[in-house]
Amino acid sequence: MAYEITLMTTIAISILFALSLNFISGFCGQISLGHAAFLGTGAYTSALMTKASIPFLITLPVSALTAGILGFVIGLTSLRVRHDFLAITTMGAGFLFVGIIRQQDFFGGEIGISGIPATGLGRIGFMSLCLALAAAFALFSILIRGSWMGFVFSSIADNEDVTRILGINASAYKLIAFVIGTATAGVAGALYAHHFRFIGPDSFGFVESISVLAMVIVGGIGSVAGIVFSAALLSVMPLLFQFIDDYKLLLYSALLFAMMRFSPDGLAGLCVRTYRKLTGARA
């Protein structure tokens, strides 16, 4: 039973983390290659606070706030860059985060932080919290996608220049998407820290950023249901098949290549096309 609880908790955290990137890249078309830095921000914030005897339920919103503030700063400095330049900027922010963590004894340096206190919720209670937060943000994403804000996000992703011509403050909406996505990643980071009870610089490096990007692309950029499925699948595979963990980056790179070549809209688009072929439905 303990293994199943651990597995479900890991899946829920991965889903929440993947959906946070989807809010930025899938909804608003902003490419982020350093998203693991916001996961790490939330993780280190919650770990340090709980080790200072601050209750977990207080550190959770603080972790979201800290990651959101960092996202606001990086998003604000990245408003003038797009596409490849934005990807390079966010990747640089990710490397900078890991470099700072490695050099500061306050964050545990290379050794990291171990012995992170338990949440006090119990295994089942903590798993339920992770599942509830993942489900809540998935529902929130669906509601936003069908709202006026979601239409603005889609417009920015399709053609930002036309969006500005229509009189919409595209910069403000891009910043809103970035802050919501990074704050949610901070929550996922806090859950991550208390789930594994140990964090280190390697947990939030470039490989982790590529891993979550693979979940988004494989599931289908912008598709909430597709990303929930892909995040669950890709997070559980290294746990079920231990040998895959050593080749995780190679596997994710191969999946990214295959999806971009054969199904750019991910598993969600593939399922829709297959359904239409089988039923004869029109596009």
Q: What is the pLDDT along the chain (283 residues), one digit of tens a residue?
A: 787 888 899 999 999 999 999 999 888 888 888 889 999 999 999 999 998 889 999 999 999 999 999 999 888 877 776 666 777 888 888 888 888 888 887 888 888 888 888 888 888 999 999 999 999 999 999 999 888 888 888 888 888 888 888 888 888 888 999 999 999 999 999 999 999 889 988 888 888 888 888 888 888 888 888 889 888 888 877 766 666 666 667 777 777 777 777 777 777 777 777 777 777 655 4
Q: For residues 199 and 192, is the Cβ–Cβ distance under 8 A? A: yes
Number of domains, the chain? 1
**Domain of residue 193, CATH code:** 1.10.3470
Of 25, 31, 29, 269, the residue nearest 158 (C-alpha): 29
- For residue 203, the 8-state DSSP code is G
Look at the pTM and tell me if it is higher than 0.75: yes
* Domain residue limits at 152: 2-279
One DSSP character per residue, 60-124 reads HHHHHHHHHHHHHHHHHHTTT--HHHHHHHHHHHHHHHHHHHHH-GGGTTTT-EE-PPP-SSHHH
